[in-house]
């Protein structure tokens, strides 16, 4: 059998750079080597595409829990020829290691083909990877890729527009107000605008607690829980923190419910999307008052802060309704390939969609693969199915 050559893109310019590296390590280790030849390409935080850098499978996560892509000995920049499609991937090298300095990158450099590429598996989270930018580049290049297309990727990266699409489809979402923070450039300007922020919250009739978050970021970067009703200073501080990641800031009404996530898989365009058993993020120290919401540390740093339970401990009928809503949300945003739909389930059984993640975390212990494992599709088979969906989408 001739193996298909699959570029695995990881790293990226977004805050979630290290999470992408961790996900890529798991994916590369689980890929079926008899069917696929992996071609890892790392993207630095500055946006350089590199080949020959440290293989994610060789990262020492005990010494460096949050690894980064960096240039080094034997590393070459990746160059794309947009007119060659799958044959358009090249490594540019030079005798003086041009990757280390912009000025020498073109001096005496040579281009070496990386060989024909059959498809790309983007394991990129956040802006410049999950937001339609890479997807658009691959569309222009004419190379198949795993996951949602340009529109769904862009729409789901922006929580503001995700809510517009979901609301139009009749899917409940948390009440919110969107703030434009571009006029505020200093700490004092945010403090001065505190009254304006609180006025917009009151006009929208949002109930506390509030969650203030960047509209276009992930992995809980920049998210703050605001609990003191009417405290304009606390709200302004939270808005400023979110604005460090995106000028568009969402202030959402907190939903009193359990965080239930459902993995969706669409292996063929002609087939109905499938939903996994819904799972729950259980915050193990919430009762003690320690971790109150699923923040960055509880996701990736503090292994004792939370665990994944699949299926969630809910009535069968509620689980079925979560699956139905997840598929409906996936269709509403024009999803293809994969997505993780995050919901809140209230004590009364009402379900509210929080967001749709088009490239969810993909470590072996992340919710997306764990949910499918509990549904009968193991990690390796899941990766194979997703790659095949790109190679043969019809």
Does residue 282 lie within any of the structural domains? yes
Contact 221, 244 (CB under 8 A): no
Is 286 assigned a ligand-binding role in the annotation?
A: no
Contact 344, 253 (CB under 8 A): no
Is 257 assigned a ligand-binding role in the annotation?
A: yes
- β 119-123/4-11 pair status: parallel
Quick: pLDDT tens for 328-370: 999 999 999 999 999 999 999 999 999 999 999 998 888 999 9
- In this predicted structure, which of 60-74, 166-180, 236-250, 278-292 has the lowest mean pLDDT? 278-292
Tell me: do 168 and 314 sit in the same domain: yes
Tell me if residue 257 falls in helix, strand or coil: strand
Q: For position 86, what pLDDT does the model report? A: 97
Does residue 76 lie within any of the structural domains? yes
Is 219 assigned a ligand-binding role in the annotation?
A: yes
Is 159 assigned a ligand-binding role in the annotation?
A: yes
Which residue, 45, 37, 38, is CA-closest to 11? 45
Does residue 188 lie within any of the structural domains? yes
Q: How far is CA 195 from CA 200, 222, 228, 232, 278, in A?
A: 9, 21, 15, 6, 40
Instruction: Report the chain's C-alpha Rg in angstroms.
Output: 22
CATH number, domain containing residue 19? 3.40.50.20
Contact 30, 378 (CB under 8 A): no
pLDDT of 292 above 60: no
Nearby residues of 360 by Cβ (< 8 Å), 6 or more positions away: 263, 338, 339, 340, 366, 367, 368
Quick: pLDDT tens for 2-43: 999 999 999 999 888 999 999 999 999 999 999 999 999 999
**The model's pTM:** 0.88
- Active-site positions read 16, 219, 366
Q: For position 289, what pLDDT does the model report? A: 52
Contact 372, 265 (CB under 8 A): yes
Is 220 assigned a ligand-binding role in the annotation?
A: yes
Tokens of 393: 């989408």
Number of domains comprising the chain: 3
Quick: pLDDT tens for 158-179: 999 999 999 999 999 999 999 9
Is 256 assigned a ligand-binding role in the annotation?
A: yes
pLDDT of 98 above 50: no
Does residue 294 lie within any of the structural domains? yes
Averaged pLDDT for residues 216-245:
91
Q: How far is CA 197 from CA 150, 206, 248, 266, 309, in A?
A: 33, 12, 13, 41, 37
Q: For position 36, what pLDDT does the model report? A: 98
Which residue, 387, 343, 288, 27, is CA-closest to 166? 343
Fill in the DSSP letter of residue 145: B
Averaged pLDDT for residues 178-191:
96
Contact 379, 373 (CB under 8 A): yes
Q: For position 102, what pLDDT does the model report? A: 46
Q: For position 298, what pLDDT does the model report? A: 47
Is 216 assigned a ligand-binding role in the annotation?
A: no
Tell me: do 29 and 116 sit in the same domain: yes
Nearby residues of 259 by Cβ (< 8 Å), 6 or more positions away: 280, 281, 294, 342, 343, 344, 354
Tokens of 267: 């292996």
Is 253 assigned a ligand-binding role in the annotation?
A: yes
CA dist., res. 214 & res. 196, Å (int): 18
The range of the structural domain enclosing residue 42 comes to: 4-145
Contact 206, 6 (CB under 8 A): no
Does residue 229 lie within any of the structural domains? yes
Tell me: do 285 and 222 sit in the same domain: no
Looking at the chain, which runs of residues are DSSP E strands? 4-11, 36-43, 49-51, 76-80, 89-93, 110-113, 119-123, 176-180, 210-214, 224-226, 248-253, 257-266, 274-275, 279-283, 306-309, 337-346, 351-357
Does residue 150 lie within any of the structural domains? no
Tell me: do 136 and 211 sit in the same domain: no
CA dist., res. 59 & res. 34, Å (int): 23
Which of residues 208, 232, 253 is at a domain's end?
253
Q: How confident is the model at residue 103 (pLDDT cuts 50, 70, 90)?
A: very low
Contact 203, 195 (CB under 8 A): no
Residue 203 vs residue 288, higher pLDDT: 203
Is 355 assigned a ligand-binding role in the annotation?
A: yes
Tell me: do 213 and 70 sit in the same domain: no
Residue 371 vs residue 267, higher pLDDT: 371
pLDDT of 130 above 60: yes
């Amino acid at each position: 059998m001739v193996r298909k050559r699959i570029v695995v893109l990881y790293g990226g310019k977004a805050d979630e750079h290290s999470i992408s590296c961790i996900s890529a390590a798991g994916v590369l280790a689980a890929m079926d080597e008899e069917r696929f030849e992996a071609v890892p390409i790392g993207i630095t935080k500055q946006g350089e595409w590199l080949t020959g850098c440290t293989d994610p499978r060789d990262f020492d996560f005990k010494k460096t829990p949050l690894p980064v892509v960096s240039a080094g000995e034997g590393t070459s920049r990746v160059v794309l020829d947009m007119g060659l499609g799958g044959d358009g991937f090249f490594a540019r090298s030079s005798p003086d290691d041009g990757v280390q300095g912009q000025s020498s990158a073109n001096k005496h450099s040579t281009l070496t083909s990386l060989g024909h590429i059959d498809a790309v598996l983007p394991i990129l989270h956040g802006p410049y990877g999950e937001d339609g930018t890479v997807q658009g580049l691959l569309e222009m290049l004419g190379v198949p890729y795993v996951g949602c297309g340009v529109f769904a990727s862009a729409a789901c990266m922006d929580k503001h527009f995700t809510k517009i699409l979901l609301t139009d489809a009749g899917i409940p979402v948390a009440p919110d107000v969107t703030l434009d923070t571009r006029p505020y450039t200093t700490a004092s300007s945010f403090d001065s605008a505190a009254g304006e922020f609180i006025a917009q919250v009151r006009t929208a009739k949002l109930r506390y607690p509030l969650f203030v978050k960047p509209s276009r970021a992930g992995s809980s970067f920049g998210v703050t829980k605001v609990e003191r009703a009417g405290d304009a200073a606390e709200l302004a501080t939270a808005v400023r923190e979110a604005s460090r990641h995106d000028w568009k800031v969402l202030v959402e009404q907190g939903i009193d419910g359990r965080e239930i996530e459902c993995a969706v898989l669409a292996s063929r365009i002609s087939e109905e999307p499938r939903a996994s058993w819904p799972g729950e993020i259980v915050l193990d120290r919430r009762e003690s008052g320690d971790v109150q919401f699923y923040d960055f540390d509880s996701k990736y740093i503090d292994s004792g802060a939370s665990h994944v339970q699949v299926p969630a401990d809910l009535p069968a009928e509620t689980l079925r309704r979560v699956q139905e809503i997840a598929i409906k949300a996936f269709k509403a945003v024009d999803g293809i390939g994969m997505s993780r739909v995050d919901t809140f389930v209230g004590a009364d059984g009402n379900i509210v969609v929080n967001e749709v993640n088009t490239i969810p975390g993909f470590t072996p212990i992340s919710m997306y693969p764990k949910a499918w494992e509990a549904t009968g599709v193991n990690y390796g088979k899941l990766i194979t199915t997703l790659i095949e969906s790109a190679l043969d989408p019809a």
